[in-house]
Amino acid sequence: DVKVTQSSRYLVKRTGEKVFLECVQDMDHENMFWYRQDPGLGLRLIYFSYDVKMKEKGDIPEGYSVSREKKERFSLILESASTNQTSMYLCASSPLRTSGSNEQYFGPGTRLTVT
C-alpha cells in the first residue's frame, strides 16, 4: 500500500513564527503536492514538485515556500505564519503518468492553528 505520512496531525503556532510541515511518501512517486483544505473552498493547490529540487507554484502560493531535497520528502514552509493560514494542510503524491489513472495518494493532514 502507498503510504504518505505527515509529520504532525495537529500544530499550534504563534503569528510570525516560521513553520515547517513535512511529508514523506514511500512509493517512489515523482510528483508531490501540498494543498490546503478549508470549508466551502475544497482543496486548493499551494505548490507541487515533479522532481527533486523542482517546484511549481499552484493556485495559492503566496506566503508559502517548499523544499524537495530528496525524492520521498516534500516540505511546506510558512516563513512568517499568519492567522489566515490557519487551515488543514494535505500532502499528496502521484506517480509519473504514463497511462491509466492519475490517482493522487493523500496523507492524513495537518491541522495548523496560528494564534
Return residues touching another protein (CB under 8 A).
Answer: 4, 31, 33, 35, 40-45, 48, 50, 56, 58-59, 90, 92, 94, 96-97, 101-109
CB 75 within 8 A of CB 68: yes
Minimum Å distance from CB 47 to another protein? 11
Distance separating alpha carbons of residues 42 and 40, to the nearest angstrom = 6
13 neighbors 77 (Cβ within 8 angstroms): no
Structure letter (DSSP) for residue 8:
-
Closer CB to another protein, residue 28 or residue 103? 103
Q: How far is the CB of 38 from another protein (least distance, A)?
A: 10
In which residue are the cell numbers 492519475 written?
Answer: 102
**Phi first, then psi: what are they for 35, rounded to 5°?**
-120, 160
The least distance separating another protein from the CB of residue 18, rounded to whole angstroms, comes to: 25
Taking the complex as a whole, how short is the minimal distance between the CB of residue 90 and another protein, in angstroms?
Answer: 6
C-beta of 82 vs 113, nearer to another protein:
113
Closest CB to another protein among residues 60, 77: 60
Q: Quickly tell me which residue has 491509466 as its cell.
A: 100
